[in-house]
Structure formats: structure tokens, C-alpha cells
Amino acid sequence: MHVTVDQDRCCSSGQCVLTAPEVFDQNEQDGLVRLLQDRPALALLPALRTAAALCPGGAITVTAPAAGGESGA
């Protein structure tokens, strides 16, 4: 699984941090998303999909592995 964020689209709502704090944080100065890990464990996939869906700026992309693909970290 791979996660990317587009800081140009981030509007600093913080929904990602509330939903998946293991993966996302916010910059203290401007509130923009910070990616803590770009290849998180597969067990976090449901939370990451929720974070992407809740992101008002559409700044989060989650690419899940195909069936039988990577097992996660």
C-alpha cells in the first residue's frame, strides 16, 4: 500500500490526523498535512480510506495492493 499527499490541495482541516494519526500529522506553522509514513501497514487501510474520503481538499491518495499483493509493514 502506498499513501501520497498533495500539500497544494491541503486545506488544513485536520481530518486525516484525527482519522489516522499513525500516518498523518500537521505542520505546526501552517497546519498543512505531513506524511509520517508513505507505506503503512495494510491493517490501516480502512482508516486511510476514510481519511481520504473525509479530506475536503482531496489531498490524500491511497493506492491499495492488488489481491495477494504486499502484506504491509
pLDDT single digits (tens) 16-35:
999 999 999 999 999 999 99
∠31-62-53 over CA atoms, to 5°? Answer: 65
pLDDT at 56 exceeding the cut of 50: yes
Give the pLDDT band (50/70/90) at residue 71.
Answer: low
Cα(55)–Cα(67) distance, integer angstroms: 26
- What's the Cα-to-Cα distance from 32 to each of 12, 38, 57, 68, rounded to whole Å? 5, 16, 11, 34
Given this model, what pLDDT does residue 73 score? Answer: 47
Domain ranges of the chain: 2-63
The CATH code for residues 2-63 is 3.30.70.20
More confident residue, 65 or 48: 48
Given this model, what pLDDT does residue 70 score? Answer: 56
**Average per-residue pLDDT in the chain?**
93
